[in-house]
Structure 1
Amino acid sequence: MKRVLFLVLLLLNLLAFAFSRGWLGTPAPEGEPERLTNQLNPERIVLRPAETPHAEEAKPKAPEPVPSPETTQAPAPAAAPANDAKAPAAKAANGHDETCVALTGLSEAQADNLAQNLRAATAAVRATHETATAPSSWWVHIPASGGKEAAERRVAELRSLGIEDLFIMQEPGPNQYAVSLGLFKSEAKAQQHLAMLQNKRVRTAAIATRNTVVHRVEMRGSAAAVDTMSASRVVRQSGATIGECKP
């Protein structure tokens, strides 16, 4: 009897569970208050009005600004091509296609006179008097040290070694009482003489370069104008040597 009662109760519980799950039919719908209470954090729910899909497109657009006549500029006209006849002259004035000839072997007075004559003869070339310092000779000597008596002792020692071509410098200045052993027009000859003295055990001899101021006249201009003036009577009578200008 107890087993029958237990089975009946179990069956009733199963039916109640099935009914609550809706397995035996749809339960009655819950009201709005019950649904809100069953939700998590119902106070955070905010209702928003629905947006129209084409609301953004319906907004009027601001008209684009129209450029004023003052701000509209016409394109600048192209520059007119330069006259072909003036192009060679402009190049020569700017240093392009320009020829330079140097007239050397002149004294200061001769260079001044030649430059003036060339400028008076033509305006097609520019004649300028230029100067430069260049070595003119190489001096083999024993530098001054100890005054006149020391120089005389050195001369006696040199003569004992068989060296006779020498003398003591007497002019006031830094080379006074130096012993001169030779003056040469080329550095190679001076080096050769110094080597000979060193072979004779002369250890204090040295070479000093003597410079001089060189004067020249430079002619610059177009090749035709420079060639014409190079063959002119003014240049021929000056006796100058014609060569190229050095940079």
Structure 2
Amino acid sequence: MLRFFFWSLLLLNAFLLAFNLGYLGHWSLDTHEPERLKMQHHADQLKPLSASEAMTPAEAGNEKKPEIIACLEVGNFLQAEATRMEDKLKTLALGERQSRINVTEVATHMVFIPSQGSKEGADKKAGELRRLGINDFYIVQDQSNLRWGISMGVFKTEEAAKLHLNNLSNKGVRSARIGPRTVSTNKFAYQLHTLTAEEKTKYDAIKAEFPAQENRNCQTTAYSRS
């Protein structure tokens, strides 16, 4: 019996030694990485991927797309300013992506120069304004107390009127003032569609020349177009 156990242990130890030395092959499913690669076909053709190459299609689809502004509206311009704005906007070459709309605006605050007493006096004052580089005005010719005065602009709020008066003062106009006057004025606004980031940057440089005008989202109200 002792002899049987002796030979059994001897054979078991020999089997374990042969297994550990690899003479009996690889039975374990948990094979180490270097040896697993040796067992694969064309292992020499494998190469590591960079982070960008390893990006999945879903991740690639999450890349930030260029910002597009659906529709931007700027206004409201009197005729003289509208013409100048259109000349500036031509540099953007927006084509059908640019449109002009008519806006009827009711204002209750006027910036004006009081009556000059006669047409000749009003014309003389108008010439002085043009020499200061100011062209956005008109001579009042109705039968009101402002006849032969000069309107420098009408505004919906007193704050806007004060801002315009301050701008005129900085340009050298000293006789202008603010008074109540309800006026319905036809003005113009511009809608710019699907602006790219580059086009928006160019537009911002143009808009800087018209500080009194405001940017806004395109109106949902139906305007008449021209």
TM-score by length of 2: 0.33
Bigger RCO (CA 8 Å, 6+ sep): 2
TM-score by length of 1: 0.30
More strand by share: 2
